[in-house]
Amino acid sequence: MRVHCCAVCRTDLHVVDEELAHPSLPLIPGHQIVGIVEKIGGRAVSFAVGDRVGVPWLGWTDGECRYCLSGRENLCENARFTGYQINGGYAEFALADARFCFPIPEGFPDLQAAPLLCAGLIGHRSLRFAGDAERLGLYGFGASAHIVAQVAAYEGRRIFAFTSPHDEEAQEFARELGAEWAGSSEEAPPEELDAVIIFAPVGALVPAALRVVARGGTVVCAGIHMSDIPSFPYEILWGERSVRSVANLTRQDGLDFLALAPEVPVRTEIVPFPLEEANQALDALRGGRVRGAAVLVAAVAGA
């Protein structure tokens, strides 16, 4: 495919910073690719030359392990991931297995569509694990949270956003997207929450989140990597509170979310960078200076 753009994910930073084990080196990062099919090989029949496709993080599964056979291909023992074990989208051209690509819904320009492919998808999977929580907390208001907030508001949930202390810009952004309260992760929200999703890669937020969820509440860790979680007293977990992680995506998650996004409709906010400035984009993400999602633009963006 000819790459039009590729959104930047925090996972790319974890890969580049060598926080994830066993990347295939040398490696082209990037797993939120939007482009046009240039050439089709083998038995790929689901797309035609000229189609606009999206390539997500899950790049290949074996289809035969106990996870794949039970509808949990996101946990496949032999899974390979785009921009990690498979060359990704920080490039002008990319090769992808058509079985793991998605058609991009009409009405989303390329740059606005790209962040749907991981920030949106993983955010949506995380939101599902929050169950029917009415009062939803989001820790870390970046690419994923800014999409989840829109879906959560559409579903009638109440949103409470937590950011780094003194990050008033992110708090304002959260309020614009429907959060009824936004504050520092060191503050207590005005009332107990029913579920919390942690997007920031900060283990200390796990006990902090457990202290603000009500009995029966869930703390969902959405990232692939986190700093160590400090020990905490059992009493903040007691009361049937739970902590769980979210790993990767299934193709069904992708189809479900890409059908839902135009219904909401999700409006992604993006900060474009030319492909040559990939390192600057990663630095901006690392420094928390991106409002919404950074997107690398490889060529003249199409429709």
To Zn ion, the closest distance from the beta carbon of 58 in angstroms equals 10
To Zn ion, the closest distance from the beta carbon of 78 in angstroms equals 6
- The stretch among 33-41, 46-54, 111-119, 158-166 that binds Zn ion (CB under 5 A) is 111-119
Q: Which residues contact 298 (CB under 8 A, 6 or more apart)?
A: 3, 4, 5, 6, 35, 89, 91, 92, 275
Strands 135-139 and 293-297: unpaired
| Residue 144 contacts Zn ion per CB under 5 A | no
DSSP symbol at 82: B
Neighbours of 252 (CB within 10 A): 11
To Zn ion, the closest distance from the beta carbon of 62 in angstroms equals 4
The letter for the amino acid at 2 is: R
Which of 16, 58, 61, 94 is in the footprint of Zn ion by CB under 5 A? 61
| Residue 68 contacts Zn ion per CB under 5 A | yes
To Zn ion, the closest distance from the beta carbon of 117 in angstroms equals 8
- The stretch among 42-50, 59-67, 100-108, 192-200 that binds Zn ion (CB under 5 A) is 59-67
| Residue 76 contacts Zn ion per CB under 5 A | yes
The letter for the amino acid at 46 is: S
Q: Are the C-beta atoms of 123 and 198 separated by less than 8 Å?
A: no
Quote the radius of gyration of the chain (alpha carbons, Å).
Answer: 19
| Residue 62 contacts Zn ion per CB under 5 A | yes
Select 6 or 68, whichever has its Cβ closest to Zn ion: 68
User: Which positions from 117 through 136 interact with Zn ion, judged by CB under 5 A?
Assistant: 118
Select 53 or 68, whichever has its Cβ closest to Zn ion: 68
Q: How far is CA 95 from the centre of its chain?
A: 22
- The stretch among 71-79, 210-218, 240-248, 281-289 that binds Zn ion (CB under 5 A) is 71-79
Q: How far apart (Å, rounded) are the C-alpha atoms in residues 259 and 291?
A: 25
User: Which positions from 1 through 20 interact with Zn ion, judged by CB under 5 A?
Assistant: 9, 11
Neighbours of 83 (CB within 10 A): 31
Total residues at the site for Zn ion (CB under 5 A)? 8
Select 51 or 62, whichever has its Cβ closest to Zn ion: 62
**Can you name the residues that pair with 145 across neighbouring β-strands?**
none
The letter for the amino acid at 122 is: I
Residues of this chain that bind Zn ion (CB under 5 A): 9, 11, 61-62, 65, 68, 76, 118
